[in-house]
Structure 1
Amino acid sequence: MMLQSCTLCPRSCRVNRLAGEKGFCQAGLLPSASLAALHHWEEPCLSATNGAGTIFFAFCNLRCVFCQNHSISQTGCSREITIERLAAIFLEQQARGAHNIDLVTPTHYVPQIIKALTLARQAGLALPVVYNSNAYEMPDTIASLERHVDIFLPDLKYYDNSYAVRYSAAPDYFVYASQAITKMVDLAGPPVFDAAGVMQRGVIVRHLAVPGLLSDSRNVLNWLWHTFGNTIFISLMNQYTPLYQAASHSEINRRLTTWEYNKLIDYASSLGIENCFIQTGKTSSSDYVPVFDGSGI
């Protein structure tokens, strides 16, 4: 029913994807993916030694002007696959030695992913599943993932709605994202790690620090801390790179300064946040964008 009148995300396009109609995100009936590979640049407890078993899905319900994956999120450079093929990709990632199945930008394919995970589990899939999303989604969509997803890895991009609209065309982003993340925490519970320190269950909320938005970032951290405390992990990211259409917004058409990022780390520490990943070194580079050449699909 979710696909017959699509309301998977706050856009509530209500298009009939079973009949080939497409809404804001432009996703069709079958999942489209651009890359399946071991990824070593996720948080350490996800990538660990062998890498996370990422599957990058095409299309997106946001229009971030600085999107580093715009070739697949906006133009849909990808390959359409069957649910059976998606299940097989999950098993192939397990055979490669992945620590988990990492579903990147999965929101608009949730019903198809659930079917593929069910098939893969029946065929021997035993890895934790990571739901790696932009958090602009509905609590009911998240609720449908119970017993299918073990780890939630959402972004929390903005607190102020004006930024969400200006940079991602996402009205009421925080309203929806905060509800979705709260549901994720309800489902996953507190973090659980194996003996090697690899996460098995839990929630890691990512926040990408954007140039000039330090005050908004502080509001994001305030909400996360006062709502969840140290029952979740936070990943503070300094890798913002002015790609795609960032040049059309002069105020964000630059890299984050070390001073800005350090101020944000200091603020997180002053709140009492302990479960926090930070990035060191020069991570603001297009070199960190994967090559979406269809490998593994």
Structure 2
Amino acid sequence: MTQKIIDFDNFSPVVRKLYHFMSPCILCPRKCGVDRIAGEKGYCAVGPEPRVSSASSHFGEESILVGRGGSGTIFFAGCNLGCIFCQNYRVSHQCIGDEITVHQLADTMLDLQVRGCENINLVSPTHQIPPIAAAIEDAHKRGLTLPIVYNSGGYDCANTLSLLEGLIDIYMPDMKYSNVQHGLQYSDVGDYPGINYSAVKEMYRQVGDLQVENGIALKGLIVRHLVLPHDLAGSTAIIDFLASQVSPHAAINIMDQYYPAYHAGEYEELCTSPQADEIAKVKEYAHKKGLRIID
């Protein structure tokens, strides 16, 4: 296989270490072990260069991210999860997107700032952290001042995240399941809850509780939790964890957008959307626990 040349001399020691995690790849909890620097591809199906599906001013995110200018959302192709109900499966599972350079990714961030976006929102960054971190450093040198949002599926290695301290302003992970078996059955990972809980703790350690100024998020942790039908997500256990082990004031978006997308229709228990009373009970429980509910 042809060796891809990456100019490590232009990168900081942190970024170099992140790239080192790609050969063999141990960036995410799957630890595929493939040599992505050499162009090999593992579960995420992405090599060493950033692969981007789209970048735009997005107005469908949380209101504290959208503001007046929209969230500068960059969708990265590929994913380290195999969610059977993925609503963005063409990008995540079919890896639809274009391979670009680190410098071009930095250009994209700067362009979103020029457009008036409120932040740079990195969607599904877990498996592409090294080039993303390099692009953030490049963009900062060239005048990027917007908050950086790390918007992930929550299946992240805490030790990889620790290297991002100071680069990420807002962490916005999913907390999908509190049940090990459901993580395996619906997202193809048999250790989701433990990995997810450790990652969220590390994220909170870096950025703390959500800070908002003039209605716009500047820094902190925002957890996204998608309510699944029949309590398949184990919502109360996730809320208990946040309130007792992360912060009694943790911000959470309890999402009601589930519908049977992608392959979910093949599973009887996932064929319907959760009922209004199911979602209301989750929100009521989070409120009772003192969490900060946002939308």
Same fold (TM > 0.5): yes
Higher RCO by CA contacts (8 Å cutoff, separation 6 or greater): 1
* AA of the residue aligned to 1:122: K
Q: 1-side partners of 2:188 and 2:119: how far apart?
A: 31
Q: 2-side partners of 1:95 and 1:145: how far apart?
A: 25
Question: Is the CA contact (8 Å cut-off) linking 1:204 and 1:234 kept in structure 2?
Answer: yes
Q: Secondary structure, in 3 states, of the residue corresponding to 2:225?
A: strand
Q: Secondary structure, in 3 states, of the residue corresponding to 1:183?
A: helix
Q: Which whole-Å deviations, capped at 9, do the CAs of 1:147-202 have from their partners, x for residues lacking one?
A: 111000000000010110010011110110100110000011232222x1211110
Q: 2-side partners of 1:222 and 1:230: how far apart?
A: 9
RMSD over aligned CA atoms reads: 1.1
Output the TM-score relative to the length of structure 2. Answer: 0.91
Q: Which whole-Å deviations, capped at 9, do the CAs of 1:95-141 have from their partners, x for residues lacking one?
A: 01000000000011111111101110111001010000011111111
Q: Secondary structure, in 3 states, of the residue corresponding to 2:200?
A: helix
* Structure 2 spans left out of the alignment, 5+ residues: 1-19
* AA of the residue aligned to 2:90: S
* Structure 1 spans left out of the alignment, 5+ residues: 279-297
Output the TM-score relative to the length of structure 1. Answer: 0.91
Question: Is the CA contact (8 Å cut-off) linking 1:13 and 1:24 kept in structure 2?
Answer: yes
Q: Is residue 233 of structure 1 aligned with residue 251 of structure 2?
A: yes
| Residue matched to 1:220 | 238
Q: 1-side partners of 2:287 and 2:156: how far apart?
A: 29
Q: 2-side partners of 1:184 and 1:229: how far apart?
A: 12
| Residue matched to 2:58 | 39
| Residue matched to 1:130 | 149
Q: Percent of pairs identical after alignment?
A: 39
Match for 2:208 among 177, 189, 199? Answer: 189
| Residue matched to 1:289 | none
Question: Does the C-alpha gap of structure 1 residues 166 and 276 become closer, same or farther in structure 2, counting only changes over 3 Å?
Answer: same
Question: Does the C-alpha gap of structure 1 residues 72 and 47 become closer, same or farther in structure 2, counting only changes over 3 Å?
Answer: same
Question: Is the CA contact (8 Å cut-off) linking 2:248 and 2:289 kept in structure 1?
Answer: no
Q: Is residue 156 of structure 1 aligned with residue 175 of structure 2?
A: yes
* AA of the residue aligned to 2:218: Q
Match for 2:287 among 258, 263, 269? Answer: 269
Question: Is the CA contact (8 Å cut-off) linking 1:214 and 1:260 kept in structure 2?
Answer: no
* AA of the residue aligned to 1:213: D
Q: 2-side partners of 1:185 and 1:267: how far apart?
A: 21
* AA of the residue aligned to 2:202: K
| Residue matched to 1:71 | 90
Stretches of 4+ aligned residues off by more than 6 angstroms: none
| Residue matched to 1:48 | 67
Match for 1:6 among 20, 25, 31? Answer: 25
